[in-house]
Amino acid sequence: MKKDNSFIPFFKPLITDDEINDVNKCLRSGWMTTGPFTKQFEKDFSKYMKRGQAVAVNSCTAALHLALEAVGIRAGDLVLVPTYTFAATAEVVRYLDAVPVLVDAEEDTFNMDMHKAEDILQKIASCEHVPGVPEQHNGVKAMIPVHFGGQAVDVEHAKRLCSEYELFLIEDCAHCCPAYYKTEESKEWKMTGSSADIACYSFYANKTITTGEGGMALTDNPEWADRMRIMSLHGISKDAWKRFSKEGSWYYEITAPGYKYNMTDIAAAIGVNQLKRADDFHSSRERIAGIYNKGLKNLRGITLPSVKSGIKHSWHLYIIRVNNNESGISRNEFIEKLTAGGIGTSVHYIPLHLHPYYKENFGYNADDFPVASELYSEVISLPIYPAMSDDEIYRVISTVKTVLEQSEK
Ligand SMILES: *Cc1c(COP(=O)(O)O)cnc(C)c1O
């Protein structure tokens, strides 16, 4: 048999004729901006996630920004954010001149450590020093946990902290379409994001479902949804997107200096079709994770992802950790060898506290967040997506094994 040595990219979306036909339909209709496809996508998505209100926007970053604005986050407010996340989770706090207070990660799940969050909340309440917190502030007003890679944070603990300290719970669900968790009292699976005041999803090109660029904010609170809808389109009066349509009116009122965050119908035409296959995509990623778990089991020098009980992982990311001492190879060299072996990988993430902006403006050090700093030096994200062939899945496994064998001391 001929061996296929073509490069396996880190991610490839799975686009079918359904998406292409609906994008065609959208283009032929002459209505490209927010319109019927966007309304359909909002309806389908809120039904799928079982939330009352959905606001489609052009990114998850936009959704997070609108969510913080809607609940009333203002200059000088503090917001708890994991350091082990993507730029977006914290920058949106800065958009409002509020201050992101970084929290270290849990060793096993990489999620925001709720015990450390609790410790920070206690210290701030008793005016003790906490890294990154300025002298003048209005107190902690919200937290934005990220369900890292698609494994839910300890939601019950987060909810308890939010009620005790009167915080809004904005969940960054960029990796969670879909993911599930069970709590101790209720034995039923819940969708990750279901208990957030506002949950924000991403449809960026390499997320679990995609619209190229896109995002969605979900809530059960109609007032927040209205506010987000208005602010997503220049702060102008409701249903502004209809103003150039038959049902629309030319008249509008500016009620606030809003943003330009609305989703296009071209994107939504992709989204409605991707969402229909979200469960199939999920099963497919679960299957790949299962094959990796088996194929990479008990190898000296790497650690496989750890999944807690009561969790159904979305498997947006499959991350191995390279143990320098045992593998005889550094993470960076490991990545180079995988690339040379035809495997695309990525690193999730360079923690926020190691980036110049956060170091210089908030005075963070690597040892303020020992767990995140260590995880960062060890992680490699392997390809995991429904468009992977079995041959590609097994080539990833054999290449990882070869790299380990070659580097044995
Ligand atoms: C991708 C991502 C975002 C941002 O999503 P966009 O749709 O690209 O704005 C936010 N948070 C996390 C954790 C992400 O991975």
Across the chain, mean pLDDT equals 96
Residue 134 lies in a domain: yes
Number of domains into which the chain is organized: 2
Are residues 204 and 337 both part of a single domain? no
Are residues 379 and 248 both part of a single domain? no
Task: Give the mean pLDDT of 100-126.
Answer: 98
Are residues 292 and 271 both part of a single domain? no
In the sheet that 168-172 helps form, which strands lie side by side, from edge to edge?
53-57, 215-219, 198-202, 168-172, 140-143, 78-82, 99-103
Residue 159 phi, psi (nearest 5):
-65, -40
Are residues 184 and 331 both part of a single domain? no
* Each residue's pLDDT tens digit, 162-201: 999 999 999 999 999 999 999 877 789 999 999 999 999 9
Are residues 186 and 52 both part of a single domain? yes
Rounded distance from Cα 302 to ligand 1 centre (Å): 27
Cβ of 97: how many Cβ atoms within 10 Å? 11
High-pLDDT (> 90) share of the chain, %:
92
Rounded distance from Cα 7 to ligand 1 centre (Å): 26
Are residues 170 and 263 both part of a single domain? yes
Ligand 1 atom closest to the CA of 88, numbered from 1: 10
* Each residue's pLDDT tens digit, 50-101: 999 999 999 999 999 999 999 999 999 999 999 999 999 999 999 999 999 9
| Atom 8 of ligand 1, residue of closest alpha carbon | 204
Q: Cα–Cα distance between 409 and 407 in angstroms, integer?
A: 6
* Each residue's pLDDT tens digit, 136-148: 999 999 999 999 9
Ligand 1 atom closest to the CA of 85, numbered from 1: 13
| Atom 2 of ligand 1, residue of closest alpha carbon | 174
Task: Give the mean pLDDT of 230-259.
Answer: 86
Are residues 121 and 259 both part of a single domain? yes
Task: Give the mean pLDDT of 243-249.
Answer: 79
Are residues 309 and 393 both part of a single domain? yes
Assess whether pLDDT exceeds 70 at residue 2.
no
Are residues 174 and 191 both part of a single domain? yes
Beta strands in 69-167 (DSSP E): 78-82, 99-103, 140-143
Rounded distance from Cα 171 to ligand 1 centre (Å): 12
* Each residue's pLDDT tens digit, 275-325: 999 999 999 999 999 999 999 999 999 999 999 999 999 999 999 999 988
Residue 3 lies in a domain: no
Greater confidence (248 vs 31) lies with 31
Query: Which residues are known catalytic residues?
Result: 207
- Domain span holding position 353: 278-407
Are residues 256 and 328 both part of a single domain? no
Among residues 232, 250, 276, the one where a domain terminates is 276
Q: Which residues line ligand 1 (CB under 6 A)?
A: 59-61, 85-86, 88-89, 146, 172, 174-175, 202, 204, 215
Write down the pTM of the prediction: 0.97
Rounded distance from Cα 89 to ligand 1 centre (Å): 7
Confidence of residue 4 (pLDDT cuts 50, 70, 90): low
Residue 4 lies in a domain: no
Which CATH number does the domain housing residue 64 bear?
3.40.640.10
* Nearest partner of 69 among 177, 226, 201, judged by Cα: 226
Residue from 170, 192, 202, 209 whose mutation best tests the ligand 1 pocket (most atoms within 8 A of CB): 202
